[in-house]
């Protein structure tokens, strides 16, 4: 007897999506106008009729096709891609310390003011 799970077990897919959405069976039951026991029965069902699947998908905020094609591997790939793209996005940030640039600008302004004062003092001495 094999202990492998069937890849197309719709009930398990609904359960996983519900859990990923941080939704309890009671909340899904309320959204569907049923009770928690009915949701438990659905999640233990290998198949579900299309009309009910559309209702559940709407309550979960996904499409019926998303439920049908759901797999944990796809979720992991999605989050890895998301994290990779975030990492690449972060590499577009500046590579210098902005505070260093502010200090550099301030020092240049102070130097310019000193030169201005020296020039004005020289003009006064010449008079």
pLDDT tens profile 84-105: 555 544 555 567 777 888 889 9
What value does the CA radius of gyration of the chain take, rounded to a whole number of Å?
A: 32
For the chain, the helix, strand and coil percentages under 3-state DSSP, each to the nearest 5? 70, 0, 30
Q: What would the pLDDT profile of 29-82 be if each residue is shown by its tens digit?
A: 999 999 999 999 999 999 999 999 999 999 999 888 888 888 878 777 777 776
Rounded to a whole number, what is the distance in angstroms from the first to the last CA of the chain? Answer: 108
Average pLDDT over all residues of the chain: 83
The CA angle 52-31-45, to the nearest 5 degrees, is 40
Q: Is the pLDDT of residue 6 over 60?
A: no
- Alpha carbons within 13 A on the beta-carbon side of 89: 6
């Amino acid at each position: 007897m094999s202990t492998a799970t069937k890849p197309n077990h719709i009930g398990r897919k609904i359960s996983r999506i519900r859990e990923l959405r941080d939704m309890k069976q009671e909340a899904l039951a309320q959204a569907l106008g049923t009770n928690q026991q009915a949701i438990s029965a659905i999640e233990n069902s290998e198949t579900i009729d299309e009309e009910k699947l559309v209702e559940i998908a709407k309550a979960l905020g996904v499409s019926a096709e998303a439920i049908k094609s759901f797999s944990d591997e796809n979720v992991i790939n999605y989050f890895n891609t998301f994290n990779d793209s975030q990492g690449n996005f972060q590499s577009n940030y500046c590579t210098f310390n902005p505070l260093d640039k502010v200090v550099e600008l301030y020092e240049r302004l102070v130097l310019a003011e000193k030169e201005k004062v020296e020039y004005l003092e020289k003009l006064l001495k010449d008079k």
